[in-house]
Amino acid sequence: MDKFTQMIQPVGDSIYLSALIALIPIIYYLVALAGFKMKGWLTGLTTLILAIILACLFFKMPIGFALASTGHGITYGLLPIGWIILMSVFLYKMTVKTGHFNVIRDSVTSLTDDRRIQALLIAFSFSSFLEGSAGFGAPVAISAALLVGLGFKPLYAAGIALVANTAPVAFGAVGIPVTAVNGLASYSNGTPISASEISAMVGHQLPILALIVPFYVVFIMAGFKKTLEILPVILVSGISFAVAEYVSAVYLGPDLPAILASLVSLLATVILLRFWQPKTIWKFKDELDEETTQVEKAKHSIKDIIIAWSPFVVLIATICIWTLKPVKKFFGQFTTLIEIPLIHKNIISSMSGKEISAVYKLDILGATGTSILVAAIIAKFIIKISWQDMFKVFIDTFNEIKIALLTICFVVGFAYVMNASGMTNTLGSALAATGKSFVFFSSALGWIGVFITGSDTSSNLLFTKLQEVTANGVGMDPLLAVAANASGGVAGKMISPQSIAVAAAAVGLVGKESELLKYTFKHSIVILLIICIIVAAQSTGILSWMIPVHP
C-alpha cells in the first residue's frame, strides 16, 4: 500500500501560505459558531467536512486516509470522551432525582451564600482535584453541573468552570501531559529532557498563574471593587494552591501537583470561612435582593450531609483507584488495540520522518467513564434510588446530551484529520518560523495544539520536538520551550471545541455553544498573554533565575 507523507509547506512552497490554508477550518469554526451562531453539531460537521476537503486538495492526503482518520477521531470522541460526559452528568442527575442535591446545596451555602466564594470552592479547588485525578472533560462537566445546582445560570456556570479550570491542566490525569513526553526532547548537548525536569519548569510557571486565576475569576464575575471585598479568600485559595503546586511539581514530580494543590486549597479556604465571612453577600443581578430572599435554611444532620455528598466522595475514590498502576495493569489484560485500516503505519510524519501509529485503544473497563459508572452504582445503595428510577435517569440524561455527544464526535474527528494530514504541524512550523519572537510565542504553540486536539497531552506530543528544535535555533533554553508548550496549552482548553461541547452538555446549553465560546474566548487570550509574558521574562533574564539547573 502506498504511504502518505505529510508536507510542511505544500502551498506555493511557502510556510505562511500553507499555514493560512491550514488555518481556514479553525477560522471557519470560530466564525460559524460565535459569529453566525450556528448549532454546535452543525458547526462541528461542516468544519470536519471543510478540513477533509482542504487536507485532500492542498495537503495531498488521500481521501481514504482522511475518512479513516475521521472514523478514528469519531470513535475516540465516543469512548473515552463521550462516555465520561454521559456518566458525569448521570451521576449528578441521580443526586437531583433523589433530592440529595438540595442537601449538597445547603451544605455549601452553610459555608457561604456568596456566589464569588462558591465559584472558587467548586470551579477552582474542587474542579482542580477532578482535573488532577481524571481530566478528559470530567472536571468541567461535574463542577459546572454543581454550580447550576447551586443556582448559577447555565452560561455563567459553564463559563466560570472553563476559565477556572486552567492552573491544573498541565498536571491533569495524574500528570499524563508531562509524563507522556519524557525523553522526547533533548538539551543542546544531546541529553534527554526528563519528565521530572519538565515538571519542575512548569512548576515555576503555573503557580504564578494559580495566584492570578482566583482573582481573575471573581473579577470577571463581579468587577474590581467587589473582588477586593473577598480578597482574604482569594489570597488563601490562590496562595495555598500555588505553594502546594510548586512544591509538589519541583520536588515530587508530575503525578501529584494538581491533586495535592487542590486539596490544600480547598481545605485552607474552608478553614478560613469558619473564621471569616465577607461583610456583604454578593449574588448575580438577576437574582432577587438578599432582603427578599432571606428564608430559614434547612437544617441537616451530619449523617444527611455525608449521605448527600457520598456519590462524589465515592467518585473521587473510584477515580483514584482507577489511576493506580496495579489496577491499570489489571485492566490492561482486557484492553484491545485496534489498528486503524489504511492509516496505521502508512502516514510519514513531516516532523520526525517516522511512520505514525494509528491505533484505537478499546479500554472499556479501564476508562474513566467506567469508574464514574461504578461510583454511580455504589452510590445507588447509599442514596437509596431504585433500579427503575436509576435507569430512567440514565435514559433522560442520554436524551438530554445526545446532540452534544454528536458534536463531540465531529470536533474530535476534525482534530484527527488536522493532525493526520499534517495541517497542525504546518501551523506549528509557521509559528516556529517567527525567529527571535518565538521566545514570546512559544506558549501560543501549546495553545493552538490544545485548541485543535482538546488535550494538553496531545498538544505536547505534537509540538515538544518542534519546541526543542526551534528553541535551540533561536537561543532559547529548550527546557523552557517544552514547558511553555504545556503551560500555554492550559489557556487553549477553555475554547477547545471539545471543551465547549462538554460544558454545554453538562449544563443544558446544547445548541447555544456559540454563547459559551464568545464568553470564554477573550479570557483565553488574556490568560495566554499572561503565560507568554511569564515565559518571555524567564527566557530574557528578568526571571531567568526560575529555570532549574540542568545539563
Give the residue-averaged pLDDT of 329-340: 93
Checking 380-384 for CB contacts under 8 A at 24+ apart, the result is: 380/94, 382/307, 382/310, 382/311, 382/314, 383/94, 383/95, 383/98, 383/100, 383/307, 383/308, 383/310, 383/311, 384/98
- For residue 286, the SS3 value is coil
Q: Element (H or E) spanning 199, and its range?
A: helix 195-202
283 pLDDT above the threshold of 50: yes
pLDDT value, residue 135: 67
pLDDT value, residue 1: 61
Q: List the domain boundaries for the chain.
A: 4-8+24-177+192-546
6 pLDDT above the threshold of 50: yes
pLDDT value, residue 464: 83
371 pLDDT above the threshold of 50: yes
Are 370 and 90 in contact by the 8 Å Cβ rule? The answer is no
Q: Which residue has the higher pLDDT, 143 or 107?
A: 143
Give the residue-averaged pLDDT of 32-42: 85
Helix axes 172-179, 456-474, angle to 10 degrees: 40
Closest-CA residue to 440 (of 540, 507, 512, 371): 540
292 pLDDT above the threshold of 50: no
371: CB partners within 8 A, 6+ apart: 134, 315, 318, 319, 321, 322
Return the residue matching grid coordinates 455553544: 513
The alpha carbon dihedral of 417, 423, 425, 428 has a sign of negative
> Quick one: CA torsion of 279, 217, 99, 289, rounded to 10 degrees?
40
pLDDT value, residue 498: 82
pLDDT value, residue 527: 96
Tens of pLDDT along 176-233? 888 878 887 878 877 888 989 999 999 999 999 999 999 999 999 999 999 999 999 9
Q: How far is CA 104 from the centre of its chain?
A: 25
pLDDT-wise least confident of 137-141, 254-258, 375-379: 137-141
pLDDT value, residue 81: 76
CB atoms inside a 10 Å sphere around CB 335: 14
525 pLDDT above the threshold of 90: yes
Q: How far is CA 136 from the centre of its chain?
A: 7
Cell numbers describing residue 409: 464526535
Give the residue-averaged pLDDT of 526-530: 96
Q: Which residue has the higher pLDDT, 412 or 17?
A: 17
- For residue 343, the SS3 value is coil
282 backbone dihedrals φ, ψ, rounded to 5°: -100, 130
CB atoms inside a 10 Å sphere around CB 36: 9
- pLDDT-derived band at 511, boundaries 50, 70, 90: confident
Give the residue-averaged pLDDT of 345-372: 88
> Residue 258 to residues 167, 368, 449, 480, 494: CA-CA distances in angstroms?
8, 17, 21, 20, 17
CA distance 536 to 161: 28
Tens of pLDDT along 241-255? 999 999 999 998 888
Phi-psi region of 363 (alpha: psi -120 to 50; beta: other; left: phi over 0): beta
pLDDT value, residue 291: 44
Q: Which residue has the higher pLDDT, 366 or 368?
A: 366
- pLDDT-derived band at 288, boundaries 50, 70, 90: low
- pLDDT-derived band at 142, boundaries 50, 70, 90: confident
Scored b (16 or more CB within 10 A) or e, 158-194 reads: bbbbbbbbbbbbbbbbbbbbbbbbbebbbbeeeeebb
> Quick one: CA torsion of 11, 17, 18, 22, rounded to 10 degrees?
-130
Q: Element (H or E) spanning 337, and its range?
A: strand 336-339
Cell numbers describing residue 110: 452553610
CA distance 169 to 136: 10
pLDDT value, residue 295: 44
283: CB partners within 8 A, 6+ apart: 113, 114, 115, 290
Cell numbers describing residue 119: 465559584
Model-level pTM greater than 0.75? yes
User: What is the three-state SS of 485-517?
Assistant: HHHHHHHHHHHCHHHHHHHHHHHCCCCCHHHHH
Scored b (16 or more CB within 10 A) or e, 377-398 reads: eebbebbebeeeebeebbeebe
Give the residue-averaged pLDDT of 429-457: 85
Give the residue-averaged pLDDT of 369-379: 92
293 pLDDT above the threshold of 70: no
Give the residue-averaged pLDDT of 135-139: 72
CA distance 516 to 508: 12
Are 362 and 313 in contact by the 8 Å Cβ rule? The answer is no
Q: Element (H or E) spanning 26, and its range?
A: helix 15-30
294 pLDDT above the threshold of 70: no
CB atoms inside a 10 Å sphere around CB 367: 22
Percent with pLDDT over 90 in the chain: 46
First to last CA, the chain: 44
CA distance 32 to 40: 9
pLDDT-wise least confident of 219-228, 232-241, 461-470, 490-499: 461-470
Strand partners, 186: 192
Give the residue-averaged pLDDT of 512-516: 88
CA distance 435 to 319: 43
> Residue 473 to residues 110, 132, 428, 463: CA-CA distances in angstroms?
57, 34, 15, 15
pLDDT-wise least confident of 212-221, 253-262, 514-523, 532-541: 253-262
Cell numbers describing residue 327: 489496577
What does pLDDT average to over the chain? Answer: 88
